[in-house]
Amino acid sequence: MRHDEFLATVRERGQYADRVEVERVTGAVLGLLGARLTPGEAEDLAAQLPEGTEDAVLAGPGSQGGLGVEEFVATLAQRLESTRETARWDASAVLSTVADSVTGGQLNQVLGQLQIGYAELFGKPDLA
């Protein structure tokens, strides 16, 4: 998937008004996700994402794991200055697009580093 296709998919799923909003939300979600992964896993994920999106995954300090889904959503809401419901919607729009952009093995490795419950945000509740 190319960068513009990735953003178009996120925009459609999230029903965002413009590209600026899509890029802001995508950067926040990917940055928060990257901070939850070990540096090596963040690099592996970034390698499978479209050029232009991988930097956000690698921007965080990495391996801050330990955040459950609710804490992830609350932190995202704070970063985006939104409600938790909106942040959950945003996370799902971006993470389900990530799931469609990487191999199944890579997705399993990412989910293996996160607490239980994240699979639903990735649009893969059957992997929970």
User: How far is 69 from 53, CA to CA, in rounded Å?
Assistant: 22
Domain count, the chain: 1
Residues in CB range of 112: below 8 A, 6 or more apart? none
Report the CATH number at residue 104.
1.10.490.110
The DSSP code for 125 is G
Evaluate whether residue 128 is within a structural domain: no
Side chain identity at residue 108, one-letter code: N
User: How far is 6 from 38, CA to CA, in rounded Å?
Assistant: 24
Q: How many CB atoms lie within 10 A of CB 76?
A: 23
User: How far is 14 from 23, CA to CA, in rounded Å?
Assistant: 12
| Domain residue limits at 10 | 3-123
pLDDT score, position 121: 96
pLDDT < 50 positions in the chain: none
Evaluate whether residue 119 is within a structural domain: yes
pLDDT score, position 14: 97
